[in-house]
């Protein structure tokens, strides 16, 4: 048969199986399996690292939560933990420093505006 200038042979349709060297095919398969195992190993290492970092974060948060619980228990008993006192006095000192800085700025701007 001649169709479109090409001679067609009767028989099966589609691609003809290429004659592939069996050894080369097996070697490609082995290489692909090696690469797959390497990717899998890397993926598991990444996931293990992720789990360990999350576990460390959880432990740190639990310790922090326990500290806050102890603070609450102490305050229920009428005691103020030294850490909270330090925070409060630190905030008060910080506010006092901010106020003094604002007053100093205001004084400088007034002095500058009154001098011609």
List pLDDT tens digits, range 55-109.
Answer: 999 999 999 999 999 999 999 999 888 888 888 888 766 666 666 666 666 655 5
Kindly tell me if the per-residue pLDDT of 112 is higher than 60. Answer: no
Q: What's residue 116's pLDDT?
A: 45
Average pLDDT over residues 38-51: 98
Q: Would you place residue 45 in the very low, low, confident or very high pLDDT band (cuts 50, 70, 90)?
A: very high
The 3-class secondary structure across the chain, one letter per residue, is: CEECCEECCCCCCCCCCCCCCHHHHHHHHHHHHHHHHHHHHHHHHHHHHHHHHHHHHHHHHHHHHHHHHHHHHHHHCCCCCHHHHHHHHHHHHHHHHHHHHHHHHHHHHHHHHHCC
**Residue 57: predicted pLDDT:** 98
What is the model's pTM?
Answer: 0.51
pLDDT of residue 11: 60
């Amino acid at each position: 048969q001649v169709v479109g200038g090409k001679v067609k042979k009767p028989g099966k349709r589609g691609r003809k199986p290429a004659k592939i060297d069996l050894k080369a095919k097996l070697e490609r398969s082995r290489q692909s399996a090696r690469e797959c195992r390497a990717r899998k190993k890397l993926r598991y290492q990444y996931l293990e690292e992720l789990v360990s970092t999350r576990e460390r974060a959880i432990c740190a948060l639990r310790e922090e939560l326990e500290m806050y619980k102890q603070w609450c228990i102490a305050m229920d008993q009428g005691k103020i933990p030294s850490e909270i006192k330090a925070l409060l006095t630190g905030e008060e000192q910080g506010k006092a420093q901010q106020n003094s800085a604002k007053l100093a700025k205001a004084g400088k701007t007034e002095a500058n505006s009154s001098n011609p």
